[in-house]
Amino acid sequence: MTSPARVTVHGDKPYDVVIGRHLLGELPGLLGRGVRRVLVMHPASLEATGEAVREDLVAQGYEAFAVELPDAEEQKTAQVAAFCWQVLGQADFTRSDAIVSVGGGATTDLAGFVAATWLRGIKVVHLPTTLLAMVDAAVGGKTGINTAEGKNLVGAFHPPAGVLCDLAALESLDRWDLVAGLAEVVKTGFIADPRILELVEEHADALREWGTRPTADETWAVLAELVERSVAVKARVVGEDLTEQGLREILNYGHTLGHAIELAERYQWRHGAAVAVGMVFAAELARLGGRLPDEVVDRHRAILTSLGLPVTYRGDRWEQLLGAMRRDKKTRGDLLRFVVLEDVAKPTRLEGPDPALLAAAYAEISKEPPTGRPGVPVQLGV
Ligand code: GLY
């Protein structure tokens, strides 16, 4: 068996992201000394995995408890957080005890938030089970819950004590969840690592067909490299700018329009699908503004389409999307801000673009692109 890869996230309290297979033996090392009690937090759909992790912790000498959460975004509420605080209180969790999350991005967000707030902060180790959580949500310390007014409006920056990306968890991942996770991988390629783009271009067919036939060893190796490279970029960015004062903003490439599309679709689109459209919009903005060569925009469409991700959106929604972008919490003052590229791996910001430029970029994505592949499903969220 090949030994796991290890990426260190630097900062006030450095931590490791371990990438490999069957990694539970690494958990005590990440929890560190002094931890006696551990609360394993998992959604209902991962009961068996959560229980296996709890039993493993007991076998390793911890007093371990498990709490079952609602699935998906339903768990990211103040009520569910309050229930978890109750469990921690009744089990006498002290500041030297810890939480282990097992699940996708919603679980790492909630568990991280509960860890950040219990006794003003206890350790959390994330065991992400989706590609999206491995390459994005579990790394970097963003935690949060939703309120009636919007997503992630309450939260804290609380870096984990470690992250275990067990690739075996991806074996049973829904095909379109894997593809949606690849949108964030492609984003990372465009903002920082051209080799990611080459790997996706070379292996798009196998990645798009994920789960429809046994996965070849070569595809597993490619996926491991994509996770490692994506985590390495995120580690570098959040190690330098944990609280999003500057550099970290580049991770939002494609997200300004992407978030607006998610809202317009009432969160029935997968996040990665909306970000895919958002990246093509940002690329068109940069191209029409004279910053980005045509071929890099074409490359966006070609790569995303080859994975089965959408690159266009309804032409009749522009005013609604513009309104949502203006309300986005990342807008500073009255000005709309976008991360755009000057080339692959050369991100920059575009602040307060001319409304005519915005509308022109939208016109480019609200019609079928020339490289569209007929027959590829575009709506992943349904
Ligand atoms: N998902 C973007 C970030 O972690 O900053």
Left, alpha or beta for 346 (phi > 0: left; psi -120 to 50: alpha)? beta
Residues 6+ apart with CB under 8 A from 196: 185, 186, 188, 189, 226, 229, 230
- Residue 128's DSSP bridge partners are 103
* Residue 367 CA: distances (Å) to CA of 134, 269, 305, 310: 33, 19, 14, 12
User: For residue 64, how far is its CA from the centre of ligand 1 (angstroms)?
Assistant: 30
Q: Atom of ligand 1 at shortest distance to CA of 251?
A: 2
Find the range with the poorest average confidence among 59-63, 172-176, 287-291: 172-176
Query: What is the rounded distance in angstroms from the CA atom of residue 132 to the CA atom of residue 280?
Result: 19
Q: Atom of ligand 1 at shortest distance to CA of 237?
A: 5
Q: In the predicted model, is pLDDT for residue 371 greater than 70?
A: no
Q: In the predicted model, is pLDDT for residue 200 greater than 90?
A: yes
For 279-298, what is the mean pLDDT?
98
Query: What is the rounded distance in angstroms from the CA atom of residue 148 to the CA atom of residue 76?
Result: 11
Q: In the predicted model, is pLDDT for residue 375 greater than 90?
A: no
User: For residue 136, how far is its CA from the centre of ligand 1 (angstroms)?
Assistant: 6
For 1-28, what is the mean pLDDT?
94
User: For residue 135, how far is its CA from the centre of ligand 1 (angstroms)?
Assistant: 10
Query: Tens digit of pLDDT for each residue in 250-279?
Result: 999 999 999 999 999 998 999 999 999 999
For 198-221, what is the mean pLDDT?
93
Q: Atom of ligand 1 at shortest distance to CA of 139?
A: 4
pLDDT above 90 as % of the chain: 88
| Mean pLDDT score of the chain | 93
Q: Whose CA is nearest to atom 3 of ligand 1?
A: 251
For 44-72, what is the mean pLDDT?
97
Position 332 scores a pLDDT of 63
In 3D, which of 313, 284, 289, 328 has the Cα closest to residue 378? 313
Position 337 scores a pLDDT of 92
Mutation to probe ligand 1, out of 251, 255, 330 (largest number of atoms < 8 A from CB)? 251
Q: Atom of ligand 1 at shortest distance to CA of 252?
A: 2
User: For residue 80, how far is its CA from the centre of ligand 1 (angstroms)?
Assistant: 23
Position 378 scores a pLDDT of 45
For residue 142 and ligand 1, the question of a CB distance below 6 A is answered with: yes
For residue 140 and ligand 1, the question of a CB distance below 6 A is answered with: yes
Position 196 scores a pLDDT of 98
Confidence band, pLDDT 50/70/90 cuts, at residue 370:
very low
For residue 330 and ligand 1, the question of a CB distance below 6 A is answered with: no
Q: In the predicted model, is pLDDT for residue 333 greater than 80?
A: no
Q: In the predicted model, is pLDDT for residue 380 greater than 60?
A: no
User: For residue 92, how far is its CA from the centre of ligand 1 (angstroms)?
Assistant: 33
Instruction: Check: CB of residue 211 under 8 Å from CB of residue 175.
Output: yes
Position 2 scores a pLDDT of 75
Left, alpha or beta for 52 (phi > 0: left; psi -120 to 50: alpha)? alpha
In 3D, which of 173, 195, 176 has the Cα closest to residue 186? 195
User: For residue 151, how far is its CA from the centre of ligand 1 (angstroms)?
Assistant: 14
Q: Atom of ligand 1 at shortest distance to CA of 249?
A: 5
Position 329 scores a pLDDT of 59
37-43: strand order across its sheet: 5-9, 15-20, 162-166, 123-128, 98-103, 37-43, 63-69
User: For residue 237, how far is its CA from the centre of ligand 1 (angstroms)?
Assistant: 10
Q: In the predicted model, is pLDDT for residue 62 greater than 60?
A: yes
Greatest C-alpha distance within the chain:
63
Q: Model pTM?
A: 0.93
Boundaries of every domain in the chain: 5-172, 175-365
User: For residue 61, how far is its CA from the centre of ligand 1 (angstroms)?
Assistant: 35
According to the 3-state scheme, what is the secondary structure of 294-340? HHHHHHHHHHHHHCCCCCCCCHHHHHHHHHHHHHCCCCECCECEEEE
Query: Tens digit of pLDDT for each residue in 125-165?
Result: 999 999 999 999 999 999 999 998 888 999 999 999 999 99
For 345-364, what is the mean pLDDT?
96
- Does domain 5-172 fall into CATH 3.20.20.450? no
Question: Look-up: residue for tokens 């970097």?
Answer: 140
Q: In the predicted model, is pLDDT for residue 377 greater than 60?
A: no
- Greater pLDDT, 181 or 375: 181
Q: Convert 303-333 to b/e letters by CB count within 10 Å (16 or more is b).
A: bbbbbbbbbbbeeebeeebbebbeebeeeee
Strand bridging mode 346-351 / 63-69: unpaired
CA angle 223, 225, 229 (to 5 degrees): 120
- Residue 348's DSSP bridge partners are 340
For 178-191, what is the mean pLDDT?
98
Q: In the predicted model, is pLDDT for residue 170 greater than 90?
A: yes
Query: What is the rounded distance in angstroms from the CA atom of residue 147 to the CA atom of residue 151?
Result: 6
Query: What is the rounded distance in angstroms from the CA atom of residue 130 to the CA atom of residue 167?
Result: 9
pLDDT above 70 as % of the chain: 94
Confidence band, pLDDT 50/70/90 cuts, at residue 376:
very low
Q: Atom of ligand 1 at shortest distance to CA of 184?
A: 1
User: For residue 183, how far is its CA from the centre of ligand 1 (angstroms)?
Assistant: 14
Position 368 scores a pLDDT of 53
For residue 104 and ligand 1, the question of a CB distance below 6 A is answered with: no
CATH code, 175-365: 1.20.1090.10
